[in-house]
Structure 1
């Protein structure tokens, strides 16, 4: 699964990297660096607008709430969408067909059981480049207030050989060449889209132990991403 990730990119950096055309970068909000993004929190998501043909960057709530849900609590269970059967499962099939998105990230965290404890690890690309998680998004209307709430989920697949010792699942990381296809800018059949949900090359990834302070979602300091000092562990 993917239950925590980072995104320290500024709004303008995301606009440039993902070629965002709407809204104007001149009207961009101040996006604070996030080193411990957790479910139910808002995060920047890249989407395709089929009416204008452009890409937008919006803040969506992490934890997918299908349009047919009675309340938002289901979103706590749908922070991830398994790639296997994503086109047939009731919670995801509509979003997979029409509402796919990219989730910018600097990397993510995973926990490895070591004895009686779980040691958190940071996972990133060796290149230092940001990751683009495959995501799905939904619109849900609160039946009481009438408010429309946009939510997203991160697609996961089986872990590659590098991450398997840490966890049996990992987020789907899309190469930039696949962005247009996944966003729906280029028409594609379901089988073509599902073929994108593959393992990221193990030899392009790196991991290192980090402080257990990342366990607490209230901790957001930049040093959470730092390599754990074995002499003075935090």
Structure 2
């Protein structure tokens, strides 16, 4: 899964995706964690052009927050299948994940891709009604796939990371979704670093899910 991530620097995102970024600086920067239920910058096609706009991370249902979409459910789940024509890319400098443990602390890790300052996570988006306000909002979910060998030591899912040369095809307004782009990141490209406190202890707090502001 993808439980949290860091969007990264505004200028680097603008350069990587060839978009003009005019959003508030509070969305970007080092150590700014993006959590499910929050508003985040997302890249998509609107009005025939590539744009970066604010969207809510996660489709809120009465019993859950659907902030990840499993790649193997995209064509079998009516909910995700309906949104396959509305593809987006979520910019990130890194992903954050907690290692599953039988008991005790859950170590936290920062996941990045070797040689890249900006990642493009594959996603789906669409209008969705905020259950608290009753207003319709643009909402997105991050697509996940099976983990590679390195990631499997931490979690049983990982976000799908697109290659920069694949951005245009994924964002295209074609009715036929390019599902062949949803591939597992190779072990040698994944960098995993433990996140530690200043005192040297590993942070253990898990993400708080299902919150809408």
Q: What TM-score range do you get, normalising by the shorter chain?
A: 0.7 to 0.9
Trace 1:29-48 onto structure 2 (pairs within 5 A).
Answer: 29-32=23-26, 33=29, 35-48=32-45
Give the alignment of 1:61-100 within 5 angstroms: 61-64=56-59, 72-74=60-62, 76-96=64-84, 98-100=85-87
Q: Is the 8 A contact 1:126 1:206 kept in 2?
A: yes
TM-score, L = length of structure 2: 0.83
- The residue number in structure 2 matching 1:57 is 52
* Of 196, 206, 214, the match for 2:181: 196
CA RMSD of aligned residues (A): 2.5
Aligned counterpart for 2:192 among listed residues 201, 207, 210: 207
Q: Secondary structure at the match of 2:61?
A: helix
- Unaligned 5+ runs, structure 2: 197-201, 209-213
Greater per-residue strand proportion: 2
Greater RCO, CA 8 A, separation 6+ = 2
**Whole-Å separation in 2 of the counterparts to 1:108 and 1:205:** 11
> C-alpha distance in 2, partners of 1:86/1:58?
23
SS at structure 2 position matched to 1:84: helix
Q: Structure 1 length normalisation: TM-score?
A: 0.76
Greater Rg by CA: 1
The one-character-per-residue Cα deviations of 1:73-115 (angstroms, maximum 9, x if unpaired) are 359431100000202312211111x210000011111222466
Are 2:150 and 1:167 equivalent residues in the alignment? no
Report 1:1-234 matches (<5 A): 1-10=1-10, 12-20=11-19, 25=21, 28-32=22-26, 33=29, 35-49=32-46, 51=47, 53-64=48-59, 72-74=60-62, 76-96=64-84, 98-113=85-100, 116-141=104-129, 147-185=135-173, 187=174, 189-190=176-177, 193-211=178-196, 212-213=202-203, 215=205
Q: What SS class does the counterpart of residue 188 from structure 2 fall into?
A: helix
Structure 1 unmatched runs, 5+: 65-71, 219-234
Contact 2:12/2:118 (CA < 8 Å) preserved in 1? no
Q: For residues 111 and 145 of structure 1, do their structure 2 counterparts lie closer, same or farther at Cα, with a shift above 3 Å needed?
A: closer
